[in-house]
Chains A and B, each alone.
Chain A
Amino acid sequence: MLLKLVVWSILAFLLMPLVIIVLFSFHASPSLSFPFAGFSLRWYAEVLGNAQLGSALVKSLTVAGFTALITLVLGAAASLAWLRLGHRGRALLEVLCLTPIALPGLFVGVSLLVLFAQARVQLSTVTIVISHVVLALPILIVAMRARLALFDPSLEEASRDLGASQMQTFGKVTLPLIAPTLIASAILAFAVSFDEFVVTSFVAGTETTLPMYIWSMMRRTVTPLINAISTLALVFSIVILVAAWLIGHLRRRSAVAGRTVS
């Protein structure tokens, strides 16, 4: 079938550069061209021995961890709110979330920069986390919104009817039902933060996250060292995706839908 062929060609286009990156990360010679001179783990060894890289990685993991945590807390509250808000409340939340998603990172980056400058806030890890939450929170809320549309509000009413207080209903009915989606979304927030570059470059000050370190290396040279780092980052993304997918499967068993999702 022609369509299938077209689809797989497009997928090949998407995957081919990644495959090349991974392939050359194992290249025995520093050149990034064919003929392939044999496999070696030397670039990975070099990655492990690079102290600057290590500290950039730790910085990125810290930032992404805090971003995911803050996004999760704010997002969970907003998701619970979503179930209770009227049309106007939902519309407000939607505008606040969709606008930053529809804007280039550049715009968000420079506006946060002027905010911090105006408020005389020193650029630091804190400002990076604040900025990343601005990017991740809307994504989490938009992802939750699609899920919550399927949430049956009568589940909460049933719980109240059976004698549970509002707090008990939150804890025993609503939260367990939306938790898998929330956690999966928080993992995505982590991924967004971990990979963020454009906004970070405006608000990082003298801090160096992993993407910023990679950027500085990329500007200077082309070396399989970057391939090795990239491969590790790629593996990390896949692990994150698989984690989100596994949690998504838990979700399917829990009855978030309440009704079947067709």
Chain B
Amino acid sequence: MKAPSIRMGGLLAAPAVLYMVMFFVVPSLILFVYSFWTAASYRIVPDFVFSNYLNSLMSPLFWTVTINAILIGLVTASITLVLAIPVGYYLVYVSRSQVILYLILITWFSSYLVRIYAWRTLLGTSGVLNTILIQAGIVDTPVDVFLFSRFAVAITLIHIYLPFCILLVVSSLSEIKKDLIDAARDLGASPLGAFFRVIAPNAASGLVGAFMLTFVMVAGDYVTPQMLGGSSGQTTGLLIADQFRKTGNWPLGAAQAFLMFLVSIVIYLSVMGLGRATGLVVKRRPARKAGG
């Protein structure tokens, strides 16, 4: 019974697996191979050189934009997580409000470009925020640093990725029963104490996961910085995208994409290390069902 069932399963899974291998795994591998090739006057030549990696690592521009992307990523992902936690906590432990959940889903599913555009109109020199500030007499002339600044980029990215992050936080908190909060309170912990002593350590891997996914999304998002960041909007993502669209140096772009990937992994490891060092992340053993 078991063996034919598994074979049947394999047969049914085959189309999807094949599809993902063909259009995700193979392209990624090709991209990786590309990163060792060379480009000469818009022609791409098969080769095996490390110059794409080395040139990137030695280029001040690459470091400037990468540090910019990392900074934007870290700051935005941190703020996003900090905002997502109370909402997630509320949804999981206080009220499973369908209204709130659907409001979050609506923002999540509202168009990506539309939201970028919304912040552009909100923050522009003749935008909503400036008009309100002038009319309220807080400023005399429009504040133009709202738009085309890191601030504008950060607030927009937070807005775009917060719903996603909230859903991740909800799913990681859902695994931790409310009983644990009650028990901590019963034993003398304040509400915040219960969160930091019990919920945070148990949800740590999930919360770090949420942070990292948000970080990867944010750091890789080059459209938002391009539209709202002005001169500070150069990020690695944009650099890579331009190699593919304008410059035509695909091997260099491929190498930079993998470097960006590597940077994400390094950051993940540092965040985990930091968590361990501060004692917030502990190795959680999965709770066995009670009564066993």
Where the two chains meet, the residues of A that have a C-beta atom closer than 8 Å to any C-beta of B are: 3-4, 6-7, 10-11, 13-15, 17-18, 20-21, 24, 31-35, 73-75, 77-78, 80-86, 89, 92-93, 96-97, 99-100, 102-108, 110-115, 117-118, 130-131, 133-134, 137-138, 141, 166, 191, 195, 197-198, 201-202, 211, 214-215, 218-219, 222, 226-227, 230, 233-234, 237-238, 240-241, 245
Are A18 and B110 within 8 A (Cβ)?
A: yes
- Chain B contact surface mostly: helix
Mark B207-229 against chain A: 1 for CB-CB distance below 8 A, else 0: 00000010011011111000100
Tell which of A34, A111, A241 touches B109, judged by Cβ atoms closer than 8 Å.
A241
Q: Quick one: which of A3, A73, A83, A107 has the most chain B CB within 10 A?
A: A107
A-B residue pairs, 10 tightest by C-beta: A104-B220, A84-B9, A81-B13, A81-B12, A111-B27, A17-B118, A78-B16, A115-B27, A230-B114, A33-B131
A-side contacts of B245, CB under 8 Å: 201-202
Where the two chains meet, the residues of B that have a C-beta atom closer than 8 Å to any C-beta of A are: 5-6, 8-13, 15-17, 19-21, 23-28, 30-31, 34, 83, 86-87, 89-90, 94, 100, 102-107, 109-122, 124, 126-128, 130-132, 135, 159, 162-163, 213, 216-217, 219-223, 227, 237, 240-241, 244-245, 250, 253-254, 257, 261
Give B241's nearest chain A residue, CB to CB: A106
Are B20 and A18 within 8 A (Cβ)?
A: no
Known A7-B86, A115-B30; contact A93-B17, beta-carbon cutoff 8 A: yes
Are B9 and A82 within 8 A (Cβ)?
A: yes
List 5 additional contacts besides A107-B261, A219-B227; criterion CB under 8 Å.
A3-B89, A17-B122, A77-B12, A106-B241, A202-B244
A211 to B106, CA, bound (A): 18
